[in-house]
Amino acid sequence: MLAAVLALLATGAGGFLLGQYTAPQSPFDPLWLRAYTDRPLDTAPPGDGFWIAGYYVDYDGDSLESVRLNAPHMDQVIVFGYGFDWEGNAVGRDQHLIRGVTNRQKRVLLFGNFADAGFDADLAHLILTDPEVQERAMSSMLAEANRLGVAGIQIDFENIPPEDREAYTQFLRRLKERLEPLGLTLSVAAAAKTSDTTTGWGGATDYAAIGQIVDYFYIMAYDEHWLGGEPGPIASLDWVERVIRYATGVMPSQKILLGVPFYGYEWSLDPALGAETNAAYGPGRMQRRAAEFGAEVVWDPVAGENKAVFLTDEGERIAWFPDERSLEAKLRMAYQYNLKGIAIWRIGLEPDEWWHRLGEFRLSPEK
């Protein structure tokens, strides 16, 4: 116990782990004691039916608070996220605090090809093709999973060079062989696709082959329209259904979790500004901004999202964002296609009242 308290105080003051600064958390928060004594607030295991999973981010206090309050309604909490240095070592902030919120059976650690510029194609290529770097990456992932105590590992490699498509599949196959004897699951976060494209952001993700390897296949069914492109729905219902139909045609539906966006985008309509003032907000803040600037929010029943056009100090802007009707449609679509469940990107952006429906649907999806 003394060692746990000393560690608690040291970590509360801020520190370094895995090469990056760990932001301080008040040592007087009882969550620290729970984390270091492995006594999570939520001790329930994942459910046997329809899953509600979600991505927790340590850079937003609202994300931690939401998991703290709503973990009983969740079946997996994916901890975002670790990257790698150029030698293959895992790097990221210490995620020890999550041990105080939810138990080992629900915790999943995410590792991605993150670098300063985002998802780095060169880093992905190095890990996938250099045997020494790959071995170091796998060993460091296993070490961190063991240190924190988790149910599994999720790989989120994006922007992979097209020529590394087969190398990515083989990497996952080797990682699965390492994880399975330890009782750890392997999942992937995959860019949404409606056909077997081999180029572009998610072209190197071979749905059919990878779907046979992993335990769970998380589809990021959002960013149909993104901040750097033309305005439009984040995840229109027709597009999401086409994504689901393709995926269920090449892998077991019960492996799939449908990624659902809990955010919206706002674009500038002034060509002179380009994309520099485009922004992402949670649904609640989107509604408040629309009200602040006197916008008329129009529900688009075909897209299953809200649209608003309004004038700000930065000129005319357009926003697309979800509400509870969007959530309901995605829940029902996932259930209709017999998917394992949904995965929220990301926890902490959602209005509190959404959890009533999420918890209700998880227990009784047919209603």
- 14 belongs to a structural domain: no
- The proportion of the chain whose per-residue pLDDT surpasses 70, expressed as a percent, equals 92
Do 311 and 195 lie in a common domain? Answer: no
Tell whether 335 and 279 lie within a shared domain: no
Residue 3 located in a structural domain: no
Q: At which of 321, 337, 352 does a domain end? A: 321
Residue 4 has pLDDT above 50, yes or no: no
What is the Cα–Cα distance from 84 to 136, expressed in whole angstroms?
Answer: 10
Q: Look up residue 178 and give its two tokens.
A: 């390492």
Assess whether 279 and 346 both reside in one domain: no
Instruction: Tell me, yes or no, whether 314 and 242 share the same domain.
Output: no
- Whether 88 has a pLDDT exceeding 60, the answer reads yes
Number of domains observed in the structure of the chain:
2
- The tokens describing 200, both together, are 């572009």
Residues 223 and 312 in one domain: no
pLDDT higher than 50, residue 362: yes
Tokens of 173: 């196959």
pLDDT of 227 reads 93
d(CA 367, CA 365) in angstroms, rounded, equals: 5
Across 11-20, 250-259, 261-270, 281-290, least confident range: 11-20
pLDDT over 80 (residue 23) = no
The CA-CA-CA angle for residues 278, 279, 284, to 5°, reads 140
In-domain check, residue 1:
no
What are the residues whose beta carbons fall under 8 Å from the beta carbon of 166, sequence distance 6 or more? 206
11 domain-assigned? no
The domain spanning residue 300 has which CATH number?
3.10.50.10
Q: What is the mean pLDDT of residues 112-127?
A: 94
One domain, residues 229 and 328: yes
Across the chain, what does the average pLDDT equal? 92
**Is 19 part of any domain?**
no
Dihedral over Cα of 122, 128, 131, 132: its sign: positive
- In the prediction, which pLDDT does 25 show? 56
State the pLDDT at residue 367: 79
- Per-residue pLDDT reduced to its tens digit, 30-71: 888 899 888 999 999 999 999 999 999 999 999 999 999 999
pLDDT at 289 over 60: yes
Burial class (CB in 10 A: 0-12, 13-18, 19+), 244: buried
Per-residue pLDDT, 81: 85
Q: Give the max Cα distance, the chain.
A: 61
* Environment class of 328 (CB within 10 Å of its CB; exposed 0-12, middle 13-18, buried 19+): middle
Q: pLDDT tens digits for 168-192?
A: 999 999 999 999 999 999 999 999 9
Q: Is the pLDDT of residue 21 over 50?
A: no
State whether 92 and 220 are in the same domain.
Answer: yes
State whether 188 and 234 are in the same domain.
yes
Using the predicted structure, report yes or no on whether residue 24 has a pLDDT greater than 80.
no
Shared domain for 139 and 238, answered yes or no, is: yes
Q: Would you say residue 23 lies in a domain? A: no
Q: What is the pLDDT of residues 198-247, one digit of tens each?
A: 999 999 999 999 999 999 999 999 999 999 999 999 999 999 999 999 99
Assess if residue 13 is contained within a domain.
Answer: no
CATH number of the domain enclosing 78: 3.20.20.80
* Residues 42 and 99: beta-carbon distance below 8 Å: no
Do 153 and 281 lie in one domain? The reply is no
- Both 76 and 214 in one domain: the answer is yes
Same-domain check for residues 336 and 271: no
User: Which pLDDT belongs to residue 20?
Assistant: 37
Domain membership of residue 282 as a residue range = 264-321
Specify the pLDDT at position 27.
61
Peptide bond into 81 cis (omega under 30): yes
Question: Tokens in use for 246?
Answer: 């393709």
Pairwise pLDDT comparison (339 vs 118), residue with the higher score = 339
Euclidean distance between CA atoms 239 and 274, whole angstroms: 26
The string of DSSP letters for 25-79 reads: --TTSHHHHHHHTT--SB-PPPPSSSEEEEEEETT-HHHHHHHHHHGGG-SEEEE
